[in-house]
Amino acid sequence: MSAPLAAIELTRPRAAVNVLRSYGVLIDGRKVDSLEAGATRRYALPVGAHEIGVEMDFYKSPPLMLELRAGQTVRLECGERAPLLGQSGLSLRGLGAAFGSMLSPGDYFYLSVVGTEVAEAPAVGAGSAAADRSTPPPRLQASAEPMIFLSYRRDDTEHITGRIRDRLGMCFGEHAIFRDVDSIPAGMDFVRKVEETIRVAHAMVAIIGPQWAEATDRQGRRRLDQVDDPVRFELETALGLALPLVPVLVKQARMPAREDLPASLAALPSINAVIIPPEPYFADGVKRLAAAIEALVAPAAPPTPARPQFCVACGHRIAPGQVFCTRCGQRV
């Protein structure tokens, strides 16, 4: 079986300088291609962490670390900090900023994420929501912001979820928070929209109140026992995708016991939860939640490789922790 793949699409807009020169495309520290002005290139890469960059002469962009998932396409844009052709950037101020950046090789290029796309995974097994649809859902284009999906029961925690959503919006940006009431337009397929959004989300926050597990429908049946329960569907999808999940206990609720949950949600009680207490400590609880989310969605800094040390007197290589050069005796 072949390894799962992802892809990056790298675009270089036309700028007012170096139009006839190509950039070198660097992937994991190795030059793999040349990129002309106005061109877009697509590169298939194995799933996992990759370092992307561009270079020209002794100028290099700051390395961009990406964590690619199966079926994901990350769209990037690169260029020089110079005015674009056809825009008013050809002013003295714009040209001055461009030439000023040439004095600092590390600031001359920019390389940034402008969007992501995730291909729908094929349905597996009869009875799944995806298998019941005659046509596959379209791919959802997401912004480069961290997308945080809020899962909750309306009759259990709707009001407090709104307060949490507002505070998280101030931390991560209004468009980075997905809640069904705010984010699903009228007339749109609810299940399809939720599934698409979870697939491109960076983290899920499951808000659990006192009646979260015991909520019932009009016939008195427990909702969590039904396969079409929206909350169950959201959590099953997130756990199946290994999406970072933060349970949040509100209104003095407790985490449901494993034996009280469907088998598909058995992993939920083992995930460390964030407790948001009532006033006057509500704000502190949301701050802890925001810190937990940030730790999950922030890209891990790549380890800095240790640079070899050499004796300044004779050039002999110095081992880590060595105090004197073994060749000339010079103290290092």
Neighbours of 7 (CB within 10 A): 16
Q: Give the per-residue pLDDT at 194.
A: 80
For 151-203, what is each residue's pLDDT tens digit? 999 888 999 999 999 888 888 777 788 887 555 555 556 677 788 888 888 89
pTM of the model: 0.49
Least confident interval from 75-79, 87-91, 168-172, 283-287: 87-91
Q: Give the per-residue pLDDT at 175.
A: 77
Q: Give the per-residue pLDDT at 45.
A: 83
Query: What domains, with CATH codes, occur in the chain?
Result: 5-118 (2.60.40), 144-297 (3.40.50.10140), 303-332 (no CATH)
Encoded amino acid at 209, one letter? G
Read off the tokens for 217.
């429908």
Is pLDDT at 127 greater than 70 in this prediction? no
> How far is the C-alpha of 138 from the C-alpha of 196, rounded, in Å?
8
Scanning the structure block, which residue is given the tokens 């396969």?
227
